[in-house]
Amino acid sequence: MRTPEHTPSIAYLICAVFVFVAHTLDGIDGKQARRTASSSALGEIFDHGCDAWVAVFLPCSTMSIFGEELNPFTMFHIQVLGCFGFVFSHWEKYVTDVLYLPWVFDLSQIIFSLTFVIASNPVINAIITHQRNPRLFLLTFGTVLANVTLRVMAAQLGRMEIQLFSPLTLLYLGTILVHIIGSQFKNLNQRLPMWDFGLLAFVCFMIIVLHLKYAIQLIKEFCTILNIRPFTVTNRAKSS
């Protein structure tokens, strides 16, 4: 029996087509860049930067498929493994100049990530009630990690020193502090579901806007340094 809350069947077909097209394009972009003599650091920023953010949406999509039967915290485990895989891979490249993407499948990194998840379980449950809004929580947390990955990539490609803290991380930590303080007030605690959703929705919006703003600024800077234009290969092809 179907209810208005059920996802339309066409949505799954559309998602399947988009995933296939995305992975196909992701696999041929490097070959196309070499064919047009347009390989550059900007291409790596686009490629791996988008991949780092795509890892945010996969747990949300999986949760939509399985519905309420899948524990939201299980999806958080999956997202941590995927997102931290990108962070660790590009941190390794920053140190060694060698990129080895399948870090997420390495046993030691899986153990490290699981240790982090297990240790943070009581803290996260007390901070954000992601059981009520799991997709919003996963999107917020994952976007912060995607931004960290992008900053590590920019530092490695630009031969710069990595910032100790990113603004998005500080914003996220500040939100946690506000939530902890706010939940201690009895009157506010009685309206905790409304308080949680409003705070999480606002922070999610701000983090996405700041992440996109940083990405656009980074693209402009690399275009200026490399003397190229984004989404344009005509000049580069003629010069070669």
Provide the sign of the torsion angle of the four alpha carbons 115, 67, 105, 168, taken in this order: negative
Q: How many CA atoms lie within 13 A of 85 on its CB side?
A: 22
- Which helix (H) or strand (E) element contains residue 200? helix 192-226
Amino acid symbol at 73: F
Q: How far is CA 149 from CA 10, 66, 68, 191, in A?
A: 33, 29, 31, 36
As a whole number of angstroms, the distance between CA 203 and CA 237 comes to 43
Amino acid symbol at 97: D
> Burial of 223 by CB count in 10 Å (0-12 exposed, 13-18 middle, 19+ buried)?
middle
As a whole number of angstroms, the distance between CA 165 and CA 14 comes to 38
Q: Which of the residues are catalytic?
A: 48
Q: How far is CA 231 from CA 35, 39, 43, 73, in A?
A: 15, 12, 10, 39
Amino acid symbol at 174: G
